[in-house]
Amino acid sequence: MSKRHGSYGFDAPWAPAGLILGATVLAGLAAASFALDILAAGLAFLFGALYTLASAASHLYTTRRGRFAVWEAELQRLSGDERLLDLGCGRGAVLLLAAQRLEKGRATGVDLWRARGRSGHAEPVTRANAEAEGVSERVELVTGDLRDLPFGDEAFDVVVSSQALHDLDGGEGREKAVREAYRVLRPGGLMLLADLRHTADYEETLRGLGVVDVRRRDAGWRFWYGGPWSATCVVEARKPSSSA
């Protein structure tokens, strides 16, 4: 995996903090149980502490390295001249990975720049990251609502999103965002939507729009936010060509 030079913060920073605190409490209970010769309870608390600590480590790994490795592999299919849109780009973790591959293309990120569930999301931070990664000339940042994108029909060759759509309130809002993503994608274009939740709904919406070439798959352990119960899935779809 290529080295990142920007500052990309943490996804849900309260989650690993809470897990580490929980592991500390469980470790204390284990120590107290062993001191009182309550072996069974001590072992149970110790196992719980180690399990919780491992969950925190998984979350931190995904945030700092794993998600980049997964997206770097996903973006290898880019030829370098595409117009790419990142929905809810945040600090640019995915947007700027893509921009590094788009030597003759353009990467556009759209966001409302709210820090909901993430640390330090702000347009100036993303611009600074683009400078740090050396791709600022290939990147455009736009303020906009994912449910009402400020772009024309069929404006992009590739549309991606990572852990952004589930932040939208209600199933209707998420469906609107998927429909908007489909609208701005050119015929034959590629869509990649990675999320913790609601990916089956995204797939259903796309099939309802007439997309046949669509599948949902597990992104693997590198994209676990704590364990397999918080696994990321990727919805991959290809918009039907105009001649289809």
Q: What is the per-residue pLDDT across 123-173, written as a single tens digit (0 to 9) for each?
A: 999 999 999 999 999 999 999 999 999 999 999 999 999 999 999 989 999
The crossing angle, in degrees rounded to 10, of helices 93-101 and 123-133 is 30
pLDDT tens digit sequence for 219-236: 999 999 988 989 999 999
Portion of the chain with pLDDT greater than 90, in percent: 81
Report whether pLDDT(118) > 60.
no
Task: Tell me what pLDDT residue 1 has.
Answer: 67
- The pLDDT-based confidence of 114 (bands split at 50, 70, 90) is confident
**Residue 78 CA to chain centroid, in angstroms?**
18
pLDDT tens digit sequence for 25-52: 999 999 999 999 999 999 999 999 999 9
Reference 82, options 134, 156, 136, 186; nearest CA is 156
Report whether pLDDT(119) > 70.
no
**Averaged pLDDT for residues 188-196:** 98
Task: Tell me what pLDDT residue 243 has.
Answer: 44
Portion of the chain with pLDDT greater than 70, in percent: 96
Region for residue 134 given its phi and psi (left: phi exceeds 0; alpha: psi -120 to 50; beta: otherwise): left
**Residue 109 CA to chain centroid, in angstroms?**
13
Task: Tell me what pLDDT residue 244 has.
Answer: 45
Task: Write down the pTM of the prediction.
Answer: 0.89
